[in-house]
Amino acid sequence: MENFVLKRRVVVTGLGLVTPVGNSVETTWAALAAGKSGADYIKKFDTEKFSVRFACEVKDFNPLDYVEKKEARKMGAFIHYAIAASQEAVSDSGLEINDEISENVGTYISSGIGDFWAIEREHEKLLKDGPGRVSPFFIPSAIVNLASGQVSIRHNAKGPNSATATACSAGAHAIGDSFKIIQRGDADAMICGGAESAITPMSVAGFAALRALSTRNDDPQHASRPFELHRDGFVIGEGAGILILEELDFARRRDARIYAEVVGYGMTGDAFHITMPDDSGSGAVRVMQKALSDARVDPKEVVYINAHGTSTPYNDKFETMAIKKTFGERAYQIAISSTKSMTGHLLGAAGGVEGVFSVLSIHRNLLLPTINYETPDSECDLDYIPNQAREAKVKYVLSNSFGFGGTNAALLFKRYEE
């Protein structure tokens, strides 16, 4: 007889965002629902000599609204964003992390890069003025896990404290791993997601050298165009997306408002190439299948996918191929959108912000659009919700994240039912 272990149910009770189109959940959602792009010319540094001069920067953000000035100087911008989004998410959830529960509340906030600004700034000091001028706060301002560490300190969360640096899958891995941590009983609640701030001279130059970025310097607002025939690369973005996950009975006991349930998580590796996705779509197919299998959900029940959809020629082609292989002919009945058309690609924060978007799509009965969709590509021939948001009540949402090095994650969210 097969052993059956009853898994603890995990629900989403709080959401927080800092994005290129808004510094809160409500401002971001309103912008996305209206199809607004966050792309513009880079303000953070002089781009005169750069082949790419635009990005999706966070705008009008003041870290001193969240952190004291003395402390803010010890942190990279990605940490500022994580603190702000976490503060909104915890407040939204109504979760009071007192001494009684603190050891069962954890943090898991990932980043692909950490703080490139600190690395570039302190390296310049080293070369110009010598090692004695390097800041003692350089390392804790830059390393990836300090977003999670700083949030845990601020919220007295003494449970699991972790982070991954799995490139563009990092935020999704943080949510999925947190789901499993709660499911197996190692925590009752997790503050989880991703944060990134890598719009720096070195980063932009590096991604441009890879030919990964769009070069539409004459028209930044229309540069990110996932699945569209004339796409030519992604637009780098920044920000943070945080979810509060809780074990169902833990949330019920405090009468928490529940946005949705997390029911499936998959992770796979392409074992193919350092930057290019698997040209057979195998890794993407298997990660979606694993998320569905984990949830014991028939693929026929999925009617909406928040795609990875980077606006690069190969990613969008192979993700489309993988969706077809996973869902067969039903792929043509599935609504798909890439919110990166509006936010740009937030790298390690992408899975976090797109996790928030996926949950809100269920909760608010609205599927976000893929903007800048003008000319269809014969190799990308599915329903990408072109240009206009679509009202729809969906039960399941699948969210895909694929990263350099062939690291893949898929999350399956479900409309909450008693």
Read off the pLDDT of residues 96-144 as tens digits, 9 standing for 90 and up: 999 999 999 999 999 999 999 999 999 999 999 999 999 999 999 999 9
d(CA 134, CA 136): 7
Four-point Cα dihedral 380, 381, 386, 390, nearest 10: -120
Gap between the Cα atoms of 310 and 207, Å rounded: 13
Non-local (6+) Cβ contacts of 124 within 8 A are none
Query: What span, in angstroms and rounded, lies between the C-alpha atoms of 115 and 197?
Result: 7
Who contacts 262 (Cβ-Cβ below 8 Å, separation ≥6)?
10, 11, 12, 175, 179, 245, 411, 412, 413, 414
Kindly tell me if the per-residue pLDDT of 1 is higher than 80. no
Mean pLDDT of 32-55: 98
For residue 284, pLDDT over 90 is answered with yes
User: Which CATH topology does 11-253 take?
Assistant: Peroxisomal Thiolase; Chain A, domain 1 (3.40.47)
Pair 191, 89: CB distance under 8 Å: yes
Topology (CATH) of 265-411: Peroxisomal Thiolase; Chain A, domain 1 (3.40.47)
Please give the single-letter amino acid code of residue 247.
E
Q: Are 103 and 159 in contact (CB under 8 A)?
A: yes
Any idea what the Cα angle at residue 29 is, between residues 27 and 31, rounded to 5°?
70
Q: What is the 3-state secondary structure (H, E, C) of 248-299?
A: HHHHHHCCCCCCEEEEEEEEEECCCCCCCCCCCCHHHHHHHHHHHHHHCCCH
Distance CA 150, CA 142 (A): 12
Checking phi first, is residue 84 left (phi over 0); if not, alpha (psi -120 to 50) or beta? alpha
Band (7; pLDDT cuts 50, 70, 90): confident
Mean pLDDT of the chain: 96
Which of these, 82, 400, 41, lies nearest to 236 by C-alpha position? 41
The residue behind tokens 């898929």 is: 410
Q: Do domains 11-253 and 265-411 have the same CATH topology?
A: yes
pLDDT digits (tens, 9 = 90+) for 226-252: 999 999 999 999 999 999 999 999 999
Backbone φ/ψ region at 333: left (φ over 0), alpha (ψ -120 to 50), beta:
alpha
Give residue-wise pLDDT tens across range 293-327.
999 999 999 999 999 999 999 999 999 999 999 99
> How far out from the chain centre does Cα 321 lie?
22
Burial class (CB in 10 A: 0-12, 13-18, 19+), 300: exposed
Is 2 a residue whose pLDDT tops 50?
no
- What six digits make up the tokens of 63? 């870290």
Amino acid at 161: N
| % of the chain at pLDDT higher than 90 | 95
* Average pLDDT of the segment spanning 278-285: 90
Determine whether 380 is an active site residue.
no
Three-state SS sequence of 339-393? CHHHHCECHHHHHHHHHHHHHHHHHHCEECCECCCCCEECCECCECCECCCEECC
**308 an active-site residue?**
yes
Q: Which of 56, 168, 192, 380 is catalytic?
A: 168
Tell me how far CA of residue 171 lies from CA of 160, 162, 190, 303, in angstroms. Answer: 16, 12, 13, 23
What is the rounded CA–CA span in Å between residue 309 and residue 332? 17
With CA atoms as reference, report the closest residue to 145 among 165, 158, 163: 163
- Residue pair 347/198 in contact by the 8 Å Cβ criterion: yes
Kindly list the domain boundaries of the chain, sorted by start residue: 11-253, 265-411
- Give the E-state strand segments of 26-114 in sequence order: 40-41, 54-55, 105-110
Confidence tier at 5 by pLDDT (50, 70, 90): low
